Amino acid sequence: MRELPTSFNPQTIFMKLAKLKLSDKLIPYKGILLFAVILMASNFFWKYNVIGDESENINSTITIWGCNISAPFIWTAHHVARVCESLLGLFGSEVQLSTQNFLFYPNGNSVQVIWACTGLKQAYIFFCILAFYRGPWKHKLWYIPLGLIIVYAFNIFRISFITYCISTHPNWFTFLHLYFFKYLFYLLIFALWVIWDEKIVAKTKTIDQSQS
């Protein structure tokens, strides 16, 4: 096996890559390419490092690099289920919450809110995109929390809507959970990024150019 030179420095490599010039044809797509790279990298990291059992057990163990990080996921799963129960109750729903975090109806239809339903993965991906994307930190410091609140609110809406639908249409669950809302969630993250890039980053760049 060939040894790496003693002067090998990963940071130097990243700096050199950052200085590479894109083809003129790709320059207009620089932003969307960077968005896609950060999205895939953060998703890849989560998929292969955050490990958890998705069986019907609210107390599943979630780990990262062998360290148990279950507590925040379990707490958030319970929190999301309680909020959804209260929200649906405001609209006259008969849904109830069991000790195993099942949102169930008198007719027997139910859904269980587990750690993967907490929206924490989507919140993490949104944070990574904004943190590693270009733009002034003085604006990131308020836009990231705002975006996280929107992601949280959307997840509450997602779980509540699915729970409401399965009360009379339990066969809709697979489509809504695995397809419709999964991609709608990523569309929301994309929309938040577009607002950041077009309304904040571009505006800040224009102001800086006019002052120089």
Over residues 109-165, the pLDDT tens digits come to: 999 999 999 999 999 999 999 999 999 999 999 999 999 999 999 999 999 999 999
Handedness of CA 128, 148, 83, 165 (dihedral sign): negative
Indicate the helix (H) or strand (E) that contains 132.
helix 120-132
Q: Which residues of the chain have pLDDT under 50?
A: 1-4, 6, 8, 14
The set of residues, in sequence order, having a beta carbon less than 8 Å from that of 133 and lying 6+ positions away, is 34, 35, 38, 193, 196, 197
pTM confidence score: 0.83
Q: What's the pLDDT at 23?
A: 59
How far apart CA 53 and CA 51 sit, in angstroms, is: 7
Query: 99 by DSSP, 3-state: which?
Result: coil
Q: What's the pLDDT at 120?
A: 97
**What dihedral do alpha carbons 141, 147, 149, 155 form, nearest 10°?**
-150
How far apart CA 58 and CA 108 sit, in angstroms, is: 19
Q: What's the pLDDT at 72?
A: 95
Strand partners, 52: 62
How far apart CA 131 and CA 144 sit, in angstroms, is: 8
Each domain of the chain, given as residue ranges in start order, spans 25-211
**What are 35's two structure tokens?**
């968005």
Indicate the helix (H) or strand (E) that contains 51.
strand 50-52
Q: What's the pLDDT at 1?
A: 47
